[in-house]
Amino acid sequence: MKTITTKSEHSRRFAIGPLLMLFTFAAVPLGVGGALLYLRHHALATMEAAQSWRETPCVVEVCEIKSSDDDDYLEFVFAYEIDGKKYSSNRIDAVIGRIGDDDLFEEWIHDSFPPGASAICYVNPDDPTEAIFDREHGATAPRRLFLLAFPFLCVGLVFLALFVAALLIPDRNGKVGSHHEDVLSFFRATTPRRSLSIATRAAVLAGPASSQLAWLFLLGFIFVFVIMDGPAQWMQLLDIGQKRLTVTGVVGDVRAVDSHELSMPLYQYVVEYEVGGQVFENINFMRGRRFAEGDAVPVRIDPAAPEAGVLLGARSGELTWWHSAIPLGVVVLLLSGLTSMALHSWRVLRLLRDGLIAESMPLTGQAESANGNEGVATLRSSFSFEVDGNHYPALRFSASDKSRRNQQTLVLYDPKNPMRNVVLGTELCNAIASAQSWSGMLQQCAVGPLTFIALGILYWGSS
């Protein structure tokens, strides 16, 4: 399609207040997300390094549950000796701070290691002042830290994009109607098998701008599905995944959690097992108390990821598959809607290329009443057009695109089936016109690709 010129005058106007607000809304979430990603990186690095740290006898000096206004926490200090010199540390695991299942873990530490108890800690051979008490606990913390950082990063990047757009993309002071008139002139002057630019095709296939918000909702509900451990629970339910092996483990601790499932209490099991000479420890959850401490139990493992073993009949999180059924159902509905939008946009693109032009006219009287309320989200418009003596309802590109009664409108229709048509309304014309500049293309087409990029990052960080 040839470049469509508009009569808009471009100028850059900076309002300090809105710009500062956008910058603040970008900087704060990005700062929080960045801090959480740093904690994730530090936890991963420490856990990997701790596998080679020196096993050292230690003595528990302080082990006391204390209360604060916000929460109860464990004050824990252990002492150890290196080369005749005494050191002490309060690092329970490789993760800085408290996250996830720390309450139950700290209760187990408190019950198992009273002051004066002997234990084994792990000391950095290059820095004897650095030591942790349990190098296995917190294996899932990096994933949870990433999931916690993900929404902050998404919100921050959205506001950062708006901030950059406010600086770089000029205001459009020209009449929006100029886009409409230029596009109408192009289609009046051309015949079917029109040549449309790649930018125009991309802008139309991206769909109505008002409907592209569905991509953001899709990202949000997939995120909810992931944080509810939906993928793992449904794969376990449907027995999807690689071939798994069963090894024998030992129950190290059993305790009830503050949750019920089908009127039965939920129990947390700490299970230890060995694969290839390496000992792993995992926390699983199961309805009812079926095993006791010291029991030998079957543990299912993936040979490619033996650290993620699951007690047979248990699961890795407190939630089960039906908890994630609601966000999964919403995801299915959104995918269905986005598929319908893509098919509709594809049909519109074919009409732009091959459709014939007809003048539309307002519906009146009984025909208008049958069309329904314009406030209802529907593709039916208040216009119709005539082909070979037959009248057909005119359809819009977007359900949110309203046309004024006295507005001149053209319809592109399929000569083989005039029921397939589209009104060259304001939103469709603006999409076609905006595709002729990089800033317009960015605004029209960026949401879908950016959502796929975000989903790829979510998959990488949560796997």
What tens digit of pLDDT does each residue of 338-384 get?
999 999 999 999 999 999 999 888 876 444 444 444 434 578 888 88
- pLDDT higher than 50, residue 6: no
Confidence label for 125 from pLDDT (cuts 50, 70 and 90): very high
Confidence of residue 431 (pLDDT cuts 50, 70, 90): confident
pLDDT band at 106 (very low <50, low <70, confident <90, very high): confident
pLDDT of residue 374: 44
Give the Cα separation of 78 and 60 in Å (integer). Answer: 4
pLDDT, tens only, 390-418: 999 999 998 887 766 666 688 999 999 99
| Closest by CA position to 252, among listed 278, 274, 282, 225 | 282
From 47-51, 89-93, 137-141, the region with the lowest mean pLDDT: 137-141
Question: CB atoms < 10 A from the CB of 387, how many?
Answer: 14
Written as six digits, the tokens of 378 are 């529907």
Question: What is the percentage of the chain residues whose pLDDT exceeds 70?
Answer: 87
pLDDT band at 69 (very low <50, low <70, confident <90, very high): low
Of 52 and 104, the one with more pLDDT: 52
Under a CB-based contact definition with an 8 Å cutoff, are residues 99 and 139 in contact?
no
Contact predicate 255/106, CB 8 Å: no
Q: What is the pLDDT of residue 417?
A: 94
Per-residue tokens: 156 = 């921050």
Say what the pLDDT of residue 11 is. Answer: 45
C-alpha separations of 356 from 14, 116, 322, 342, 394 in Å: 44, 89, 51, 22, 13
Looking at every residue in the chain, the average pLDDT score rounds to: 84
Is the pLDDT score of 226 beyond 60?
Answer: yes
Which comes out higher in pLDDT, residue 356 or 427?
A: 356
Contact assessment for residue 62 and residue 115, using Cβ atoms and an 8 Å cutoff: yes
d(CA 385, CA 407): 14
The span from the CA of 149 to the CA of 40, in Å, is 9
306-328 pLDDT tens trace:
877 888 888 877 778 888 899 99
Stated length of the chain: 463
Report the amino acid identity of residue 156: G
d(CA 379, CA 341): 11
- The tens digit of pLDDT for each residue in 278-300 reads 888 888 888 888 899 999 999 98
Least confident of 14-28, 136-150, 172-186: 172-186
Model confidence band, residue 141 (pLDDT cutoffs 50, 70, 90): confident
> Which pLDDT score, from 0 to 100, does residue 9 have?
42
Please state, in angstroms and rounded to a whole number, the distance separating the CA atoms of residues 196 and 3. Answer: 10
Q: Give the integer Cα–Cα distance in Å for 59 and 37.
A: 33
pLDDT at position 257 = 83
